[in-house]
A = this chain, B = another copy of it.
């Protein structure tokens, strides 16, 4: 499997602290040795760093960890290959254009019977189920919304409905962004935390590093971090439920189906109890 890391913030913020925790799992405290990548949006543009080598001893990961690149929307991934060989072409995140915007995506999980998913003109370049699913999602978005609608929460609700279909094919945990919004979709493993004033200290699980966010931030900063597994051991992370999605914008959750998921699970419990 793999691990995902995402960030949404209301001011350009670096992700050095969280990334330091994540990359330890790329061959050191975790088995995700098969490459890593990170995309930082800056306005409508983005920059990507990728390496098919383990993140824990990658020169490029070292640069990303030590050089604070500030962004309001970040997606990162460390890979433990299941489908598709270990190579740059199969290294997440993937980025493609739709509606004159760059969309970025990373996937954790594994799908079966994904080969025939329609992708239109979004043709996969590598061999992974992940990239195929990305092309499928973009194709569905383009087909359903030839032009960008004003209400983006509607678009993300639509994307979530297509993620539900992908979840029927296996494990589908995903981060997705157009540079403004960061969407998280959960099958089994995804957590998030929103940090805001009063800021405190946080300690990484995977590395002996503690940061005092109070010293690094201003009182108005709002920063959400999303990760497969919590990255810190002294904070409370939200655990997402199967089929749950959340959309973050400038650090805040702007829409999610948490209540529906909870209602549905109560309903199912009642049914099974009857």
Contact = CB atoms under 8 A, between A and B. Distances in A.
A43 interface: yes
> How many copies of this chain?
2
A30 to B, nearest CB: 23
Contact of A47 (B88, B100, B123, B124): B88
A225 to B, nearest CB: 22
Contacts of A60: 63, 67
Interface stretch (A91-99, A192-200, A216-224, A231-239): A91-99
**Interface of A (DSSP majority class):** mixed
A29 interface: no
A90 interface: yes
A3 to B, nearest CB: 20
Contacts of A52: 42, 45
Given A60-B63, A63-B59, A45 B88 contact: yes
A101 to B, nearest CB: 6
Nearest to A135: B97
A126 interface: yes
